[in-house]
Amino acid sequence: MMLNTGNKLDCGPADEIVSYIYGEGDQRWRTRFEEHLSNCTSCTDEFACIADARFSVFEWHKEEFVPLLTPAIVIPYVAAQLSSPVDTSFFAGLRSIFTIPRLATGLAAVLVTAGLGLFGSNYMGDTQMAVVGPEQNTVRPPAPTAAATLTDEERSAASDEAERKIDTPRKQPETKTRRGRTNAQDRDIGKPLTANIKRSADRDANPNSAQRRKAPVLNNFDESDDRSLRLTDLFDDGGSGR
Amino acid sequence: MALAVFDVKEKTDEQLVELAVAGDADAFGEIVRRWERKIFALCFGMLGREDDAGDAAQEAFVAAYRNLKHFRGEAKVSSWLHRIAVNQCLTIKRREKTRAEDFIDDEDGEAERTFVASPLLSPARTTEKTERLNLVRQAVGALPSDLRQVVVMKEFEEMTFLEISETLDLPLSTVKSRLYTALKQLRMRLERTPVEVV
């Protein structure tokens, strides 16, 4: 007969009893355990001891905890949404446009646009200041000259030259425009048109400008040169077709 | 009659068996009263269902009464009853394997946790049950926290040993050992304060 020595049985680990009581282990192991249990008195007594304690806990759990009701969680607004009829009127649709999320979206769009506008205007102003400012404020030191190394005669000659430049009235430099004319020619805006025509005729007479493309003369229009289709041509074609 | 019952309560299990073999019906009734709950718990531990455990316990006592003459006194009465109950449970298990509908019930698993309270509980039994539940509550509360934790996780949360070992980060054998120790200590605490049946 097997003896029970403390928490361990001579037949094997005693904690296998709890595995069997709580329904764990595969069927093969359980069958072997049952066969052993039917032939081993000490294991049977130990099994009965543990089973009695387990049933006490099971009974306590069943009597005092299982009957406790689980509180039901009710969300009232879900039921209200389901029960309320859906309003499909025009005003309801209009009202839905101005619901809080859409209004918030529109407001956010306005704010973003205004912010971008302010940022852009500030950025452009700063850029212009950055372009203009330095040129106005930059004072470049005079370039070092060789005056320090000049003799007294050369220095007096240079000062005379400078005085003469001051006395002489400043003249605009004659720069040529893109068309080869001077600024003075371009400034003759008040002259009559004939003068300009005459000038262009002179320019045409110039052999250097003969290679240029002949400009169309509006007042000397020759119909024979016009080859475009006319209404009279259409009518003539229709009459001859008959 | 009342005096006879009082005398029976004073007897040991072996004396009661001798009286029962001699034809004293009250003696065997006292044996049933003393061991019915433990035999039922053993059958519940083996079968896992209360209705089957009740049937097995009843059949075990019937088998014990029929075999009173074969009790030779080499082992304790409790051990003798335990072995009869175990064999009776194994017989029921073998019988269940032949029933197709019981396989469906096992797959369903609903009936395993269904508790059928006996409507015929006498006031004395109800009082006894209440006292026992109080004792169990106190005994579980007096367990060391590591043992109580395993009991709660197994019995209340219905976790497997593997889940408990993963949750507590303990070896599987440690979890089983802790539960075994916890149930053993519970049994000792409940034995020290037995509930008297009126």
A41 pLDDT more than 80: yes
The alpha carbon of residue A11 is apart from the nearest alpha carbon of chain B, in Å, by: 16
Query: Which tens digit of pLDDT belongs to each residue from A130-140?
Result: 544 444 444 45
In a 13 Å sphere around the CA of A127, the CA atoms on its Cβ side amount to 6
Task: Give the pLDDT band (50/70/90) at residue A13.
Answer: confident
Higher per-residue confidence, A184 vs A24: A24
pLDDT, residue A147, reads: 47
B126 touches chain A (CB under 8 A): no
Query: Which tens digit of pLDDT belongs to each residue from A222-240?
Result: 666 667 766 677 666 554 4
Task: Give the pLDDT band (50/70/90) at residue A161.
Answer: confident
Number of residues assigned to chain B: 198
Mean pLDDT to the nearest integer, A30-44: 90
* A58-97 residues touching B, CB cutoff 8 A: 58-66
Q: Do B184 and A48 touch (CB under 8 A)?
A: no
Specify which of A76-90, A190-204, B1-15, B82-96 reaches the highest per-range mean pLDDT.
B82-96
Query: Which tens digit of pLDDT belongs to each residue from B61-84?
Result: 999 999 888 887 788 899 999 999
Closest CA to B147 of B115, B118, B184: B184
Closest CA to B136 of B54, B37, B39, B60: B37
Indicate the residue of B40, B155, B187 with minimum beta-carbon distance to A61: B155
Structure tokens at B146: 């590591």
Tally Cβ neighbours within 10 Å of residue A33.
Answer: 19
B78 touches chain A (CB under 8 A): yes
pLDDT, residue A228, reads: 72
Q: Do B180 and A18 touch (CB under 8 A)?
A: yes
A215 touches chain B (CB under 8 A): no
pLDDT, residue A237, reads: 56
Phi, psi at A4, each rounded to 5°: -95, 115
Query: Which tens digit of pLDDT belongs to each residue from A76-96?
Result: 765 555 555 666 777 777 677
Of all residues in chain B, the percent with pLDDT exceeding 90 is 46
pLDDT, residue B2, reads: 46
Task: Give the pLDDT band (50/70/90) at residue B113.
Answer: very low
Structure tokens at B83: 């072995």
pLDDT, residue B170, reads: 94
Report how far residue B76's alpha carbon sits from residue B81's, in angstroms, rounded to the nearest whole number. Answer: 9
In a 13 Å sphere around the CA of A79, the CA atoms on its Cβ side amount to 4
Task: Give the pLDDT band (50/70/90) at residue A163.
Answer: low
Spatial CB neighbours of B66, under 8 Å, sequence gap ≥ 6: none
Higher per-residue confidence, A149 vs A124: A124
Q: Do A7 and B181 touch (CB under 8 A)?
A: yes
Mean pLDDT to the nearest integer, A202-230: 60
A32 touches chain B (CB under 8 A): no
Phi, psi at A176, each rounded to 5°: -90, 140
A15 touches chain B (CB under 8 A): yes
Q: Which DSSP category does B68 fall into?
A: G
Tally Cβ neighbours within 10 Å of residue B129.
Answer: 15
A210 pLDDT more than 90: no
What interface predicted TM-score (ipTM) does this complex get? 0.81
A107 pLDDT more than 90: no
Find the distance separating the first CA and the last CA of chain A, reported in whole Å: 139
- Residue B179 is which amino acid? L
Residue with tokens 């590591």, as numbered in its chain: B146
Give me the DSSP letters along A145-183: -GGGG--HHHHHHHHHHHHHHHHSPP-----B-TTS-BH
Dihedral sign computed on CA atoms, order B15, B17, B19, B24: positive
Measured N-to-C along each axis, helices B13-21 and B25-47 cross at an angle, to the nearest 10 degrees, of 120
- Residue B85 is which amino acid? A
pLDDT, residue B196, reads: 54
Task: Give the pLDDT band (50/70/90) at residue A173.
Answer: low
Report how far residue B142's alpha carbon sits from residue B48's, in angstroms, rounded to the nearest whole number. Answer: 27
In contact, A72 and B67? CB cutoff 8 Å: no
Spatial CB neighbours of A195, under 8 Å, sequence gap ≥ 6: A188
Query: Which tens digit of pLDDT belongs to each residue from B161-196?
Result: 999 999 999 999 999 999 999 999 999 998 876 655
A242 pLDDT more than 50: no
Number of residues assigned to chain A: 242
Element at A9 (helix H, strand E): strand A8-9
Residue with tokens 């508790």, as numbered in its chain: B115
Mean pLDDT to the nearest integer, B83-111: 73
- Nearest residue of A to residue B186 by CA position? A53
B136 touches chain A (CB under 8 A): yes
Query: Which tens digit of pLDDT belongs to each residue from A139-148?
Result: 455 555 554 5
Mean per-residue pLDDT over chain A, rounded: 68
Mean pLDDT to the nearest integer, B147-172: 92
Mean per-residue pLDDT over chain B, rounded: 83
The residue among B132, B150, B155, B174 with the most chain A CBs within 10 A of its CB, best to mutate, is: B155
Query: Which tens digit of pLDDT belongs to each residue from B4-23?
Result: 555 777 788 888 888 888 88
Mean pLDDT to the nearest integer, B111-134: 69
Tally Cβ neighbours within 10 Å of residue B98.
Answer: 8
- Nearest residue of B to residue A62 by CA position? B115
Of all residues in chain A, the percent with pLDDT exceeding 70 is 40
Mean pLDDT to the nearest integer, B146-172: 92
pLDDT, residue A123, reads: 75
Report how far residue B159's alpha carbon sits from residue A125's, in angstroms, rounded to the nearest whole number. Answer: 73
A198 pLDDT more than 60: no
